[in-house]
Amino acid sequence: MDQIPITALLVALIVLLVLSAFFSMSETAMMAANRFRLRHRAKEGHRGARVALSLLDTADKLLGVILLGNNLVNAGVATLVSVIALTLVGEEKWALGAATVFTTFVILVCSEITPKVIAATYADRIAPIVAFLLWPLLRMAHPIVWFVNLFSRGLLALMRIQPKGLAEAPHLTADELRSVVLESGQFVPSEHRAILVNLFDLEHVTVEDIMTPRGEIEGIDITAPIEEIREKLATSFHTRLPVYEDDPGNVIGIAHLRRLLASALAGEVDHELIRANLAEPYFIPAETQAYAQLRFFRENRQRLGLVVDEYGELLGLVTVEDIVEEIVGKFTTGMPGSAASFAWEGDFAMVDGGYSLREINRALGLSLPTDGPKTLNGLITEHLRDIPEVGVGLRIAGTPMEIVQTENRRVKTVKIHRQPVKT
C-alpha cells in the first residue's frame, strides 16, 4: 500500500464516486421516466427510448445490474477511503471510524442525493441516454445477474409476488386520468382541458340533468285550430317539434318541419297531413347516462328523445345538441333568449329560475346541490316547501339569494349574491 501514490488513490476514489453516481442516477431516471412519453418517442423512431423500454420490460434484470454495480462501487469506495486514511494517519484507532463517517457523507452527497435529484428532475431526458450504457453492462454481467435473480425470484415466489415489466404505461382509472388532465395546465390549453374534463364528467351525468324541462318544451297541440298550428310552424326556431293531443304529456309523434315546409308554403297544411308525417316518438328513461344516450343517438341516427320517469310521465326533452353542449360548452347560435346570459354583476347575478343548477354552478362557480331538483326554481321551492313571495331571502348551500319575480306558480327571477371571500 505504501508503494501506491496517494494521488493515484484519490483519482481512483473520484472515479468510483462518479460510477456510483452514474448507477444511482440510472436507477432513478429509469424508474421515474414517463412511460407514455417513452412509448411515443419510440414510435417516432428514437433509439434511446426503444432501448429504455426494452430494459424496463425486464425490470428484475435491470435493477439487478444497477444495484450490482452500485454496491460493488460503494464497497470499493469504502475500501479506498480506509486505505487513504491509514496511509495518511497510520493505524490510529480513530482512523477507521473517521473513514466510515467520511465515506457515508461523501456517498450520500456525491453519489446518492445529488445525482438522484438531477435524475428525478430530468428523467425523460436522462433515461434514453443511460439506457445505451446499461444495455452492454447487462449483457456482460448477465451470468451474475441471473444467479442473483435466481434467489430473488425464489424469495418473491414465497411471498406470492409475480414480477412484471415496467415498460407498459400504468393503468389509470377514469378519476385518476381526470386528475392528470386537470394538472396538465402547462401542456394542454385551458379550452381543450375543459372539454376533456367535461367528457369524463359525462359518465356521471344523466339525461335528466341536461334535458329541457317539460314546462319549457315547445310543442304542437294537434287539437288546436289549424291557423294556430300554421303560425307555430312558421315561427318555430326548431326543426323538430313534439306533437301532443290535449295534454302536453300525451305526445303522439314528432313533426319534422322540413317535411311540412312545401305544404305550408302552398297553404295545404291540415291536421291529417300533420298526422301522416309524424315520426314515432322515442322515450328515454330519466336515469340513462348521457354518454350512453349519445352513443345510441349516433348508432340509430336519432336526434331527439323524450325523457320519462319510472311511471312513464313526461319529464322533458333531450337532443344531441344538449349532450354535445355538455361537452364543448354552449353554442353561440340558437333560439333568441335560449342561451344563458347571466354573470356576476359586481356582488350579485340575476338568474332565471328555469336555468339548470349545473349550468348555474358552472357559470358562477357555485356549489348548489344537484342531487335533487335540476333547476333553480325547483331547488328553491323544495327548500321552502312553498311558492315564495317576491322579496323573500334565503340561503342554500351557503349561497344567499333573493326572490325578485314569480310567475304562474314558479320562481321567475332570482338575485344571487356573491359570497364574501374569507380572509
The model's pTM is 0.55
Residue 29, amino acid = A
Residue 2 has pLDDT above 60, yes or no: no
Looking at the structure, tell me whether residues 234 and 308 fall in a common domain: yes
Q: pLDDT tens for residues 302-326?
A: 888 999 988 888 888 998 888 888 7
**Tens digits of residue pLDDT in 233-254:** 878 888 888 988 888 888 888 8
Q: What length is written for the chain?
A: 423
- If pLDDT is split at 50, 70 and 90, which confidence band does 285 have? very high
State whether 311 and 393 are in the same domain.
no
Domain identity same for 60 and 154: yes
Q: Which of 122-136, 202-216, 393-407 has the lowest mean pLDDT?
A: 202-216
Question: For residue 115, what pLDDT is reported?
Answer: 87
Q: Of all residues in the chain, what percent carry a pLDDT higher than 70?
A: 84
* pLDDT tens for each residue of 14-26: 888 888 888 889 8
Give tens-digit pLDDT for 323-340: 888 787 766 444 444 445
Domain assignment present for 178:
no
Answer yes or no: is 338 within a domain: no
Cβ neighbours of 367 (radius 10 Å): 11
pLDDT digits 0-9 by tens, 49-90: 888 888 887 777 888 888 888 888 888 888 887 777 777 766
Of 219 and 172, the one with more pLDDT = 219
Q: Domain check: are 246 and 305 in the same one?
A: yes
Residues 214 and 303 in one domain: yes
CATH code of residue 208? 3.10.580.10
97 and 241 together in one domain: no
Asked if 151 and 20 sit in the same domain, the reply is: yes
Give the domain-ending residue among 158, 177, 211.
Answer: 158
Asked which of 101, 135, 158 is the last residue of a domain, the reply is: 158
Residue 153's closest CA among 27, 64, 24, 23?
A: 64
Cβ atoms of 254 and 279 within 8 Å: the answer is yes
Same domain, yes or no: 27 and 154: yes
State residue 345's pLDDT score: 85
Same domain, 305 and 411: no
What is the structure's pLDDT at 185?
Answer: 58
Query: Could you list the residue range(s) of the whole structural domain that residue 79 is in?
Result: 6-158
* Assigned domain for 137 exists: yes
Q: Is residue 87 part of a domain?
A: yes
Residue where a domain stops, chosen among 128, 158, 188:
158
pLDDT digits (tens, 9 = 90+) for 368-400: 888 778 788 888 988 888 888 888 888 888 889
What's the number of domains the chain is made of? Answer: 3
Q: Does residue 189 belong to any structural domain of this protein?
A: no
What is the pLDDT, as a whole number, of residue 367? 83
Q: What's the CATH code of the domain at 394?
A: 3.30.465.10
Which of 98-102, 182-186, 378-382 holds the top average pLDDT? 378-382
Task: Return the pLDDT at 330.
Answer: 67
